Amino acid sequence: MPGGWIVVTSTEKIFNWARSSSIWPVTFGLACCAIEMMATFASRFDVERLGMVPWASPRHSDLMIISGTVTIKMAPMLQRIYEQMPDPKWALSMGSCANSGGPFRHGYHVVKGVDRVIPVDVYVPGCPPPPESLLNGLLLLQDQVSHFRRTGRRAPPSPKVD
Ligand code: SF4
């Protein structure tokens, strides 16, 4: 159909915008960073305006925010919850502990970075990262989701900084 490609392209753009603007993170907190995550999702920062709704079921979520220290004891549970999420799914590592073990990295009981357990798409530095940093990480993630929907390939993870 002459000009049909314009309709298809525009429709795809609308779908991509809708998908990257309806990311549902599974409610999951590990340590002190989770307090900042909760503040980010509260009324002052209002992440819901970006279409993100915390959801209490991994089966209906497409994002895991790892907010806190990952212990060796907790790692298998974290991995299981991640595996219960449907594809395509995303992971955001929030704070020094999740990124690399943070102040506890020399502890015998701490995983030296959650990327040793599950693949990570965005790293947010800080101890703890303030809500503004997490918001920035979520916007980076939206770009990654749009890239994946557009190209069918995942963008490389954001730089890992403690
Ligand atoms: S990075 Fe800092 S604030 Fe976050 S969980 Fe570790 S010690 Fe707590």
- The per-residue pLDDT for range 78-108, each reduced to its tens digit, is 999 999 999 999 999 999 999 999 999 999 9
CA-CA distance, 123 to 72, in Å (whole number)?
20
Secondary structure class of 156 (helix, strand, coil): coil
Return the bridge partners of 66, or none: 93
CA-CA distance, 70 to 144, in Å (whole number)?
24
In this prediction, residue 149 carries a pLDDT of 85
| CA 30 to ligand 1: nearest atom | 5
| pTM score, whole prediction | 0.89
The sign one gets for the Cα dihedral 99, 78, 157, 143 is negative
Averaged pLDDT of the chain: 90
| pLDDT at residue 1 greater than cutoff 60 | no
Quick one: average pLDDT of 74-79?
Answer: 96
Q: Which residue's CA lies nearest to atom 2 of ligand 1?
A: 127
